[in-house]
Amino acid sequence: MLLKLLLSLLSGIGGHYLNRRWDKALFFFSLFALYPVGVYFFFYRALTEGNYQGIDALQRHFSLLFGGGVVLIWLVSLLVTRYDAAKAKNGNLPRWTLTGVVGALFTSLLTAAYLTGSVLLLVNSFNLTGTSDESTTQNENRVYSRDLFYSHLYMGGSSGSSFNHPHPPTGDGLLKGRITFDGEPAVGVRLSLDLNDQYRAGDLVTDSDGFFSVPLKTGTWFINSIQTSSWSGKPPEGDFSLFYEGQARLEGETFDRYGHLAGSGYRVVVSENAAKPQVEIRIGRNISMTWPDQNAEKSEATLEDVIRWQEHPDAENYYVVISHMTRDGDTTTYSPITERLLQQHELPLADLAHAPTDGTSEYSVQVYAFAADGTLVSTSSDSMGKGSFVLAGGQKLVKDGHGFKASTPEETEAYIARMKAVARNRVLLDAVEVLLEEQKLDQAETLLALVDSERAEGKKELFQGAVLALRGECEQAELAFARALEVNPEICVPDPYRGECR
């Protein structure tokens, strides 16, 4: 009996196999498999109805229900194993077959790993506690769907998942923050802070003055990110984002969107008696896009369409980023094509560089609004893959300097001819490079005569110098190399191209 109990203790179902109760083993294996499905649908319903508490509380409740339920099934399985073992009679028991042994071993190992993970999840749930008595009191209040406010403000450092990070060690210092909206305190904002790439202070709630606080050890700390989950005072209409003073600014005509994220995070100094908050966060109303439709995907467009957005009252300039979108299953990548600094709140597609194409491409638009001093005051909403458009009429957007604006069929034909010439040049130059490697100098020289120097970016002169050097005509070769560098100062002359002239 002890061996049977031990196997059920370790794997959840191993003892049932020794009892020859295949039905019980299958029953409890099915319970272990189906229970997570029930938990998932329970929390999915709670999520959609808004009947839950902050993100950390939701995760804690999920861990408790999931881990606790699995442990309960485990204990019942142990009791049933003992009961069946006690009443078992020695009689004609079915023999083990090879497939039976393999199946029993595999399912036992599978449930053992499953139970280990469930216990760890249950233990971890007890670490996901609130940060103060005030936060605990706030957690007793329900958060409804109308108050949902998911916003993530990344400040630098690690960008990985932090849900399992422990709460930071408490100390005599106090990290104070304040959140405002339209210059007034933002009351009832529930948020979490990621600190020093290793801690997470969760379920913080702003008070009537917009303040929140975290007791920490005194010294220097780095805030990696701030995530909000709800806001009891959120206006009923509109989308909102978080902003802070450390974000990138508009410098002249340049906006380095990610330059401020290269460091370890937003640096704050925690002291015992902070006179003012170390971090101030502003909630801003997002720019509302008029076109393309932010609720649609792949809106069909022509060069006659115009990107438009509603004017922001505090904006002096708008910085528009248009990116090419590539969808691969659930993953979408964005490759910026062009960036424009504007004062008006519209951008005609005809003003962008474009070129003929046989296919179709998808594009996204992101708009940033700046005050006169370069401070970022708003941005368009993250449309999560929506709000995109595709160009019809056999056109595609290209990077500035790589396209053209055609107003007549003749201009289009000229552009196509120019692109064909560029492609022909590339083929010829690739062939010459291969011939040089094979020391076929006469053939290389013949092809070089067909290359258009204006479209070769110095490579024609480079290869001419290589032919001369490999023939031992060093003086003429150096002159050709000099012409190549004059055409393209960044060109490199490989040592093998100098032949006997090295």
- The 3 state secondary structure assigned to 453-466 is HHHCCCHHHHHHHH
Which region among 231-235, 350-354, 406-410, 446-450 has the lowest average model confidence (pLDDT)?
Answer: 406-410
- Whether cis (ω within 30° of 0) applies to the bond prior to 292 is yes
Candidates 117, 111, 115, 108; CA nearest to 4 is 108
> Which residue in the block uniquely carries the two structure tokens 């019809």?
392
- Give every CB contact of residue 358 below 8 A, 6+ residues apart in sequence: 394
CA 421 to chain centre: 40
d(CA 146, CA 49): 10
Whether the per-residue pLDDT at 196 is higher than 90: the answer is: yes
pLDDT: which is higher, 427 or 403: 427
Binned at pLDDT 50, 70 and 90, residue 261 comes out as low
DSSP-assigned letter for residue 276: S
Candidates 224, 134, 135, 214; CA nearest to 174 is 214
Binned at pLDDT 50, 70 and 90, residue 135 comes out as very low
Binned at pLDDT 50, 70 and 90, residue 35 comes out as confident
d(CA 286, CA 264): 27
Whether the per-residue pLDDT at 296 is higher than 80: the answer is: yes
Tell me the average pLDDT across 99-120. Answer: 72
d(CA 398, CA 391): 12
Per-residue pLDDT, 386: 83
Per-residue pLDDT, 157: 84
Per-residue pLDDT, 264: 86
d(CA 321, CA 314): 20
Binned at pLDDT 50, 70 and 90, residue 129 comes out as very low
At residue 445, what is the residue type? E
DSSP-assigned letter for residue 95: P
d(CA 22, CA 19): 8
d(CA 437, CA 463): 11
Whether the per-residue pLDDT at 92 is higher than 60: the answer is: no
DSSP-assigned letter for residue 312: P
Candidates 376, 374, 386, 388; CA nearest to 153 is 376
Average pLDDT, the chain: 81
**Exposed, middle or buried: residue 184 (CB in 10 Å: 0-12, 13-18, 19+)?**
exposed
Residue-wise pLDDT tens digits, 140-152: 445 556 788 999 9
d(CA 2, CA 13): 14
Q: Identify any residues that bridge with 173 across adjacent strands, giving them in sequence order.
A: 216
Segment (H or E) for 124? helix 98-125
Residue-wise pLDDT tens digits, 408-445: 455 556 656 666 777 777 888 888 888 888 888 888 88
DSSP-assigned letter for residue 245: T
Q: Given phi > 0 = left and psi -120 to 50 = alpha, else beta, which region is 90? A: beta
Long-range contacts of 245-251 (CB under 8 A, 24+ apart): 245/280, 246/155, 247/376, 248/376, 249/370, 249/374, 249/375, 249/376, 250/317, 250/319, 250/341, 250/370, 250/374, 250/376, 251/374
Domains of the chain with bracketed CATH: 2-88+95-125 (no CATH), 133-285 (no CATH), 289-397 (2.60.40), 409-501 (no CATH)
Binned at pLDDT 50, 70 and 90, residue 160 comes out as low
d(CA 148, CA 49): 11
Residue-wise pLDDT tens digits, 41-73: 776 565 555 444 455 566 667 777 777 777 888
Residue-wise pLDDT tens digits, 2-15: 776 676 667 767 67
Per-residue pLDDT, 16: 72
Across 111-125, 197-211, 324-338, which has the greatest mean pLDDT? 197-211
Binned at pLDDT 50, 70 and 90, residue 211 comes out as very high
- CA distance to 38, 46, 47, 308, per residue, from 58 (Å): 16, 10, 9, 39
Tell me the average pLDDT across 77-106. Answer: 68
Per-residue pLDDT, 401: 54
d(CA 53, CA 58): 6
d(CA 25, CA 246): 59
Share of the chain above pLDDT 70, in %: 78
Binned at pLDDT 50, 70 and 90, residue 124 comes out as low
Q: Are strands 299-301 and 389-391 parallel, antiparallel or unpaired?
A: parallel
Per-residue pLDDT, 402: 46
Per-residue pLDDT, 159: 61
Q: What string of DSSP letters covers 413-448? A: HHHHHHHHHHHHHHHHHHHHHHHHHTT-HHHHHHHH
CA 78 to chain centre: 44
Three-state SS at 397: strand
Q: Which residues of 251-288 are buried (b: 16+ CB within 10 A; e: fewer)?
A: eeeebebeebbeeebbebebeeeeeebbbebbbbbbbb
> Which residue in the block uniquely carries the two structure tokens 């393209």?
488
Helices and strands (H, E) in the chain, number of each type: 10, 23
Candidates 193, 200, 182; CA nearest to 240 is 182
pLDDT: which is higher, 91 or 373: 373
Radius of gyration, alpha carbons of the chain: 33
Binned at pLDDT 50, 70 and 90, residue 189 comes out as very high
The pair of structure tokens assigned to 235 is 């206006």
Which region among 58-67, 275-284, 421-430, 492-501 has the lowest average model confidence (pLDDT)?
Answer: 58-67
Whether the per-residue pLDDT at 288 is higher than 80: the answer is: yes
